Amino acid sequence: MSTVFEQATQRDTVPFRHDIVGSFLRPQAIKDARAKFAAGEIGAAELRQVEDEEIVKLVAKQKEVGLKGVTDGEFRRSWWHLDFFWGLGGVDKKASDTGYLFHGVESRAETALLTGKVGEGAKHPMVEDFKFLCKAAGDDVVARQTIPAPAQLLFELFRGDNIKTVDEFYPNRQDLYTDVGTAYRDAILAFYEAGCRNIQLDDCTWGALSDRQFRAMQEEAGVDINEMAKGFLYVNNLAIENLPADLVVTTHVCRGNFKSTYAGEGGGYDPIAEILFGGSNVSAFYLEYDSERAGGFEPLKHVKNQQVVLGLFSSKFGELEDKAQIFKRIEEAAQYVDINQLCVSPQCGFASTEEGNVLTEEQQWAKLRFVKEVADEVWG
């Protein structure tokens, strides 16, 4: 064991030394209930009852594998991001011409379209979902709420022909940023009033901005990547201004996670590190570091006093990583960030969409037990 680990200590607040990103494989009972609901064989109340039962089981299982922060697995959602967008005022569900493109596969073709001004964050239906999670979690763990970042909503609204409705309702982009930031802040405060003390902003925009292919396409189109990044940072920070001191806000930087595939060509955090790590007002970054596509750890030198959750374990496959290699990578990261600013987790959730990644539930739980085993050996 490295001498750098001699100073490593445990941690009793979010993020924890061994952690998760949020989503879990949907159990068969939920898949069956959703199919029956879609076919009109059961109603919304019956579907929700099945979800309730499975979320209670999920929370118990998370506790069993030693997690100190738990989620509802996003069991009530089809998408990690769109379901939240559709719950905001002025945003509706829409079929799109194409799905999201991943390595060798395309997702379902759905999106979010503006039908008016963005608002009504305080009335978001997921607040009721969180209340159920909070009750199921009890007092011995932290009930965590994951939502897509405000920047992710902008990214979706600017996607393809969606931009036409943005131009219609928001000829002044600053008005859009203000409304999105306000709606999000209202939603976050509603979660807080419901008992939430940890909000996680899931954000693929930074994964795109560090991707070589995406950057090349934007530059060819004459887009200033740094200005785009600053706009995303601005709206994210706007949404979390002046929140209660005991609400921990973290963010997860995603690089694509659909049926065990990824998006783009990859590229390290270097191009966006100074803006993201140096300017984001979150308490922690959950970062994907499960493959060479994420680059090295040097960009972490721009992190201030935040925690960094290293996603060194892949949620895309069930095989366990080499423990010695994981220790080596933690040691490498500790050259740029103090060992006690580091934590570990899978690089993403196990099911960013209801389809889920290609592994079994048994492998999912074995992976999380392994993450804990590694963390306990490093941080005690």
pLDDT tens for residues 298-343? 999 999 999 999 999 999 999 999 999 999 999 999 999 999 999 9
Q: How many Cβ atoms from other residues are within 10 Å of residue 31's Cβ?
A: 15
100 pLDDT exceeds 70? no
What confidence score (pLDDT) does residue 336 get?
Answer: 98
pLDDT at 221 (0 to 100): 86
Work out the percent of the chain whose per-residue pLDDT is above 90.
84
pLDDT surpassing 70 at residue 259:
no
Percent of the chain with pLDDT over 70: 96
- What confidence tier does 260 reach under pLDDT thresholds 50, 70, 90? confident
Contact 174, 222 (CB under 8 A): no
- Tell me the C-alpha distance between 10 and 16, whole Å: 8
Contact 84, 147 (CB under 8 A): yes
State mean pLDDT over 250-261: 84
Domain holding 361: CATH number? 3.20.20.210
| pLDDT reading at 122 higher than 70 | yes
Is the pLDDT score of 4 beyond 70? yes
**What is the arithmetic mean of pLDDT over 256-262?**
71
Over the chain, what is the mean pLDDT?
Answer: 94
Question: In which domain, by residue range, is 76 found?
Answer: 3-379
In single-letter form, the type of residue at position 143 comes to: A
Q: 103: Cβ–Cβ under 8 A, 6 or more apart, which residues?
A: 256, 261, 262, 263
Mean of pLDDT values over 47-61 = 98
pLDDT at 71 over 80: yes
Number of structural domains, the chain? Answer: 1
Q: What is the mean pLDDT of residues 342-354?
A: 96
Spatial contact of 374 and 323, defined as CB atoms under 8 Å apart: yes
pLDDT band at 218 (very low <50, low <70, confident <90, very high): confident
pLDDT at 101: 64
Q: Assign 173 a pLDDT band (cuts: 50, 70, 90).
A: very high
User: Tens of pLDDT along 107-121?
Assistant: 677 999 999 999 999
Q: What is the pLDDT of residue 379?
A: 97
> Is residue 220 scored above 90 in pLDDT?
no
